Amino acid sequence: MTSALLSDPDLIILETESGERIPAIHRRCPRAWATIIYSHGNAEDIGVNLAAIDELAARLRGVASILSYEYVGYSLSRLEGFAASEQGCYRSIDAAWTYLTRDLRVAPGDIVLWGRSIGSGPTVDLSCRPLARGCAGVVLQCPIASGVRVLLGQDSALLWLAKSIDIFVNVDKIGLVDCPVAIMHGTADSVVPLCNGEELFRLSKRPFRALWLDGYDHNTLPSQDCAEYTLQFLEMLKSNRASQVGRSSATLFCA
């Protein structure tokens, strides 16, 4: 998939704050109001994901552009000698955010963060930090509560013993996210059990109605159902955005 990635006309190279170079694909839709920063799962990279990203972009055409970025230590980044790590994932999504907001001048209120599986880690982490203040919303697809919770289960007596080695601890961060959060998860997920998504939904400050897809596994969620759910979420975010602009205009007029 490396050759397909290198030949893609929408390929860009981002640089993290530590100087690591990572590839990204920016599928732009001129009429779209939103841009989605897409964080992929663990056993894949943006080259493998090209077809899935193209399908998502087609289903969201006219509503959202998509920026799919790579993690430090994955695909082309790995070929440059960089190793994958939790902190590397955080630096990577920060680079994607900075590219949109600083280089392209995209307003934070026009950006939606999307995390699939382990990609929920950098997504939730960024969305609760000051860097992403004003972000429009968050979409979590088959999200993890934390790395250890996926392996041991939500109620394991060993969780406290493994706390020091846990990674992507979304369960401790999701309550700090101020923007609306949409969560979709298959009820028969054999990789990241449904209880992970349910726990994050329970702890969210501003949860959008969840989409629990009956009988679907981690990698078999129906793309059409996921896209329709996302479109409904984006429509809600757009309405919120319009009402906020209206309130701001009214305040200025009264002043």
> Does residue 62 sit in helix, strand or coil?
coil
Say which of 26, 40, 185, 218 is annotated catalytic: 218
CA-angle at 190, arms to 208 and 50, nearest 5° = 70
Beta-bridge partner residues of 36: 66, 112
Q: Which of 22, 2, 1, 179 is nearest to 85 (CA)?
A: 22
Asked if 189 is an active-site residue, the reply is yes
Say which of 77, 117, 127, 146 is annotated catalytic: 117
To the nearest 10°, report the CA torsion of 91, 93, 99, 100.
Answer: -150
Asked if 40 is an active-site residue, the reply is no
Determine the residue type at 125. D
Measured CA to CA, the distance from residue 104 to residue 77 in angstroms comes to 23
Say which of 45, 125, 166, 189 is annotated catalytic: 189
Backbone dihedral angles phi then psi of residue 94, each to the nearest 5 degrees: -60, -40
> Does residue 13 sit in helix, strand or coil?
strand
Please state, in angstroms and as integers, the Cα–Cα distance from residue 228 to each residue in 2, 142, 203, 235, following that order: 31, 16, 24, 11
Measured CA to CA, the distance from residue 207 to residue 214 in angstroms comes to 20
Asked if 77 is an active-site residue, the reply is no
Q: Which residues are catalytic?
A: 117, 189, 218
